[in-house]
Amino acid sequence: DQQVKQNSPSLSVQEGRISILNCDYTNSMFDYFLWYKKYPAEGPTFLISISSIKDKNEDGRFTVFLNKSAKHLSLHIVPSQPGDSAVYFCAAMTTSGTYKYIFGTGTRLKVLA
């Protein structure tokens, strides 16, 4: 039962353009969402997050959008840079009730110079 899904295993984008990474979830109890970035041979690192009471959170070149009705979130990177090439994982958690913290399967982003 994959409660957090990233349906695109890979994505290639030209440098300077927008990268859009998508994530869908099934459990309506999730109320906090996070994106992590992972380079080869390293552990994932936290990138940006959003609470379910918001629909957008921005941090520099990174913006996360949340559509609760569609149970969908996306990460926008503008402009994309070659150093953004990595695997991106979305994660969803519950902040009350039964504890859950679930990662998606990841999307490999390649930014082409």
Partner 1 sequence: DSGVTQTPKHLITATGQRVTLRCSPRSGDLSVYWYQQSLDQGLQFLIQYYNGEERAKGNILERFSAQQFPDLHSELNLSSLELGDSALYFCASSVVVGGTWETQYFGPGTRLLVL
Residues 6+ apart with CB under 8 A from 102: 3, 4, 25, 27, 30, 91, 92, 93
Residue 102 interacts with partner 1 (CB under 8 A)?
yes
* Residue with tokens 């990138």, as numbered in its chain: 47
Select from 90, 100, 81, 77 the least CA-distant residue to 38. Answer: 90
Q: How far apart are CA 103 and CA 89, in angstroms?
A: 7
Question: In the complex, what is the shortest distance from the CB of residue 103 to partner 1, in angstroms, rounded to a whole number?
Answer: 4
Residue 69 interacts with partner 1 (CB under 8 A)?
no
Residue 105 interacts with partner 1 (CB under 8 A)?
yes
Nearer to partner 1, 19 or 104 (CB): 104
Residue 49 interacts with partner 1 (CB under 8 A)?
yes
Residue 62 interacts with partner 1 (CB under 8 A)?
no
Nearer to partner 1, 60 or 99 (CB): 99
